[in-house]
A and B are shown apart, each in its own frame.
Chain A
Amino acid sequence: DVKVTQSSRYLVKRTGEKVFLECVQDMDHENMFWYRQDPGLGLRLIYFSYDVKMKEKGDIPEGYSVSREKKERFSLILESASTNQTSMYLCASSRTSGGAYEQFFGPGTRLTVL
């Protein structure tokens, strides 16, 4: 069974803390994505990566950075967490060709910043 796993389902952090969210996929996919999901706003793309060590900004990259040192792992970093980063964070992966660009999602991490 193919899988995208995220390191935590729930996370509570304090303002100013550095936060790491990790995502691992076992499908050998080239592409990996980080989204945040807020009510009524759908999924908004933060960053994506199409290869190891490669990254591109999405629609809302401010306040975030990413790291992809291995093909199966994509990390999202909040350098200094703020309350407006309280949200659901979803990781996804997809193949570059074939598969109709289907994205496979992890279960999400609900982050609360106090």
Chain B
Amino acid sequence: TQLLEQSPQFLSIQEGENLTVYCNSSSVFSSLQWYRQEPGEGPVLLVTVVTGGEVKKLKRLTFQFGDARKDSSLHITAAQPGDTGLYLCAPRWAAGNKLTFGGGTRVLVKP
């Protein structure tokens, strides 16, 4: 059984602060996706990471895939209220089209 843990579960910060969200497992990921879900909507893909050690940037968001491909992090610089939402990591552990979703980190950025 593959265990997947996201931390923290909830994060409340002021506009302009930085934050980091973590996604960890005891098993190796084939690849990993990060999604953001805003209230009343379905999740939307932010990024896919595939290679161990990979770093991808999307404006103020930086995504890192661990060297051993068992963990990933999402760092937001100078958070804005528009970054508020539920951040979900979704690894693939094997070939196929299924994803497994973490429990999510709910981020609240206060103006």
> What residues of chain B lie closer than 8 Å to A43, measured between beta carbons?
43, 88, 101
**Interface status of B31 (Cβ within 8 A of chain A):** yes
> What residues of chain B lie closer than 8 Å to A40, measured between beta carbons?
9, 103-104
0 or 1 for each of B3-38: is its CB under 8 Å from A? (1 = yes): 000100100000000000000000000010100000
B97 and A105 form a contact (CB under 8 A): no
Q: A103-B45, A105-B44, A107-B41 are contacts. A96–B97 as well, Cβ < 8 Å? A: yes
> What residues of chain B lie closer than 8 Å to A107, measured between beta carbons?
40-42
> What residues of chain B lie closer than 8 Å to A74, measured between beta carbons?
none
> What residues of chain A lie closer than 8 Å to B44, measured between beta carbons?
105
Interface-centre pick from A48, A94, A100, A106 (highest chain B CB count, 10 A): A100
A42 and B31 form a contact (CB under 8 A): no
> What CA separation (Å) do A36 and B81 show in the bound complex?
27
**Interface status of A90 (Cβ within 8 A of chain B):** yes
**Interface status of B92 (Cβ within 8 A of chain A):** yes
> What CA separation (Å) do A55 and B34 show in the bound complex?
26
A106 and B42 form a contact (CB under 8 A): yes
Q: For chain A, residues 31 to 51, give those with C-beta under 8 angstroms from any C-beta of chain B.
A: 31, 35, 40-45, 48, 50
Interface-centre pick from B9, B42, B104 (highest chain A CB count, 10 A): B42
> What residues of chain A lie closer than 8 Å to B99, measured between beta carbons?
101, 103
**Interface status of A4 (Cβ within 8 A of chain B):** yes
Interchain residue pairs with CB less than 8 A apart (30): A35-B101, A40-B9, A40-B103, A40-B104, A42-B88, A42-B104, A43-B88, A43-B101, A44-B101, A45-B98, A48-B97, A48-B98, A50-B97, A58-B98, A90-B43, A94-B97, A100-B33, A100-B50, A101-B97, A101-B99, A102-B33, A102-B45, A103-B45, A103-B99, A104-B42, A105-B41, A105-B43, A106-B42, A108-B41, A108-B42
Given contact pairs A101-B99, A102-B45, a sample of 16 additional A-B residue pairs in the complex whose CB atoms are under 8 Å apart = A4-B42, A40-B104, A42-B6, A43-B88, A44-B101, A50-B97, A58-B98, A100-B31, A100-B33, A101-B97, A103-B45, A103-B90, A103-B99, A105-B43, A107-B41, A108-B40
